[in-house]
Amino acid sequence: MALFGDATFWVLISFCLFLFVFFRLGRGPILAKLDARIGEIRKEISAAETLRIEAQELLAQYQRKQRDAAKEARTIIETARSHAVQITRQAETELSESLKRREQQLEDRLRRIKESAATEIRAYAAELAVKATRKIIAEKMDEKTSARLVDASIKQVAEQLG
């Protein structure tokens, strides 16, 4: 009986009564709210999982595109290098051929200049020989012999030049 006069006992009884009433009356709405919140969380988790899967698919797609782009870039670089080598070889060949043609042209020109100089020298030498011969013959010979020797010399020079 002393228990009924104690305030702690009544606080304990009222707390237990409160819990019983709270459990009896509040359990349904609280569980409904918790179930609703659990449903929302599940939807959010499902949406997050869907977004994660889509993100992984996009990532895989972009990685494939990146690999393809890198492969294509390597192919382009290899092709460009191959073309550069071909162009270099072609340019070297064309340069070599051009140098050979120019060298041949210069050799032909030099040969023509030599031939022209030799022809001019021969003509000049022949002219000098004829003049010298005339002068010598004119000084030492009479006119009849002189004319015969001049004619013979001219024939001889013409035969040598021709």
pLDDT digits (tens, 9 = 90+) for 115-125: 999 999 988 88
Write the single-letter amino acid at 147: A
Report how far residue 128's alpha carbon sits from residue 158's, in angstroms, rounded to the nearest whole number. 14
Q: Phi and psi of 13, rounded to 5°? A: -65, -45
Neighbours of 24 (CB within 10 A): 9
Mean pLDDT of the chain: 88
Mean pLDDT of 29-51: 93
pLDDT at residue 1, rounded to an integer = 57
Average pLDDT of the residues in 25-51: 91
In angstroms, the CA 65 to CA 45 distance is 29
Q: What is the pTM of this model?
A: 0.42
Q: Which residues contact 141 (CB under 8 A, 6 or more apart)?
A: 149
Q: Which residue has the tokens 């895989």?
A: 60
Token pair of 42 as six digits: 């599940």
Alpha carbon distances (Å) from 82 to 71, 77, 78, 89, 118:
16, 9, 6, 11, 53
pLDDT of residue 95: 94
Element (H or E) spanning 153, and its range? helix 143-161
Structure tokens at 101: 């043609």
